[in-house]
Structure 1
Amino acid sequence: MTKRGRFITLEGGEGAGKSTLLAGLRDYLLRQGIELLQVREPGGTPLGEAIRSIVLDPAHPHICAESELLLMFAARAQLVRERILPALESGHWVLCDRYVDASYAYQGAGRGQPQERIAQLEAWACAGLKPDLTLLLDLPVATGRKRAAGRGAADRIETEADAFFERVRQAYRDLADAEPQRWRVIDASLPAEDVLGAATAALAHVLKVHA
């Protein structure tokens, strides 16, 4: 019988360094002999990538908060069923750049959507799938926005005011405080090699349990 893989998610605000960390974690897990799938939200499937292009396109500034929330969960439901669950059942680990916690932070705290509504959508759309480990890259909003500004033109969400991202950051910290057994908070203002070291230390525990 194939042992189920592990589901690892990365969360954080703009400019937190998730892409850099994902590359490092991918290399680390491959060196451990772990077969893995790397995906992102929204995205990861043809439908999800189409939704991503709509949600992040600054040419659509008037998407209402309710539509944004539903679009995120449409992409998520497809990703869970089309790619994540099959990979986990086949024994692969999954590294996911954001997952449902992002909706609690961005569409919940950021956009003001009720937490209860998000929880209902999660129960319906996510097939009961929870991460085994969530790594939160935490850093001051001003630092993250300065980093993100160097990447090129801002997407629709990146154009929000600092107050929006302060709410997002606090929501992430609250989520981590509420479920410390799943979350590991990493100081994303540290050098990239130190961030990777903290993340691989957290993964080492999951590897031990998985062995």
Structure 2
Amino acid sequence: MDVSPDADYLERYNQSTHAWTKAFRLARGFFITFEGGEGAGKSTQIERLASKMRAKKYDVLLTREPGGSPGAEAVRHVLLSGAAEPFGPKMEALLFAAARSDHVEQVIRPAVERGSIVLCDRFLDSSRVYQGVTGGIDQAFMDRLEQVAINGMMPDMTLIFDLDPAEGLRRATVRRGAEAAADRFEKETLAIHQARRAAFLAIAAAEPERCIVIDAAADPDTVENVVTAAVFAALETRAPARDRQVTPA
């Protein structure tokens, strides 16, 4: 699996802000994160949702973690290649936090403040699970790090894609091709992946106002329909039509 920084990533996704003749902008933007274990289909579904929202003329910014800003994309290569692994989970958590802080201040916050809908593939819950729960870092340290990294930029909504880890790893292998190398997170034991699944579900149970669990075992079209219904229902509640502004791109 190629984990080198994708030079075209930001250009490819961030162009969406100006891609339409007219776009819905909310009085205040809406920040949605996609979370879950390996192979659960987050990346497929975030792309599908972005396409649907753009077709309805919403002003959408699609981004990801680790990465999403030039500085964070450089850190992404270090993290996914495994170069930071010898320094231990605490150092890795610091790198994730540094990348997230840059991503928030350079990309996410400005987009939300201008009224865009931000869709982010992984965010703080992945750090809570990967570095906190299965990385063995105590919660107090992770909480302090999170506060600094996000600086108040909590997601308005989080979709947690739930899938049996064995099936997720099978899907991940198919996706990248059997001959391609797995990234360092995919290589970990099934027991670790199962612990991560349990941790994501625990977050959803603890924060039901923010989190929705999506059954990712269904076929992609069914999952897409569930995701679309959940997001548009949340937008109607959060931002009724009278609060939308149609602005030239």
Distance 1:59 1:119 in 2: 25
Distance 1:105 1:67 in 2: 16
Aligned to 1:164: 192
The answer for unaligned runs of 5 or more in structure 1 is none
CA contact (8 A) 2:37 2:168 kept: yes
Q: Does 1:185 align with 2:213?
A: yes
Aligned to 2:47: 23
Q: Does 1:206 align with 2:230?
A: no
Aligned to 2:29: 5
TM value normalised by structure 1 = 0.96
Distance 1:113 1:149 in 2: 29
Q: Post-superposition shift, 1:63?
A: 3.6
Q: Post-superposition shift, 1:159?
A: 1.3
Aligned counterparts, 1:41-190, within 5 A: 41-58=65-82, 61-150=85-174, 151=176, 152-190=180-218
Matched pairs, number = 211
Distance 1:62 1:156 in 2: 12
**In terms of mean alpha carbon deviation, does 23-32 or 69-78 score higher?**
23-32
Q: Post-superposition shift, 1:60?
A: 5.3
**Aligned partner of 1:196: which letter?**
E
CA contact (8 A) 1:11 1:137 kept: yes
Root-mean-square deviation over aligned CA pairs: 1.4
CA contact (8 A) 2:84 2:91 kept: no
The answer for unaligned runs of 5 or more in structure 2 is 1-24, 241-249
Report the 3-state secondary structure (helix = DSSP H, G, I; strand = E; otherwise coil) of the residue aligned with 1:51: helix
**Percent of paired sites with the same residue:** 43
Residues 1:119 and 1:190: Cα distance change in structure 2 (over 3 Å): same
Aligned to 2:57: 33
Distance 1:19 1:68 in 2: 23
Q: Which structure would you say has the larger Rg?
A: 2
Distance 1:195 1:2 in 2: 26
Aligned to 2:224: 196
**Aligned partner of 1:78: which letter?**
D
**Aligned partner of 2:229: which letter?**
A
TM value normalised by structure 2 = 0.82
Distance 1:14 1:29 in 2: 25
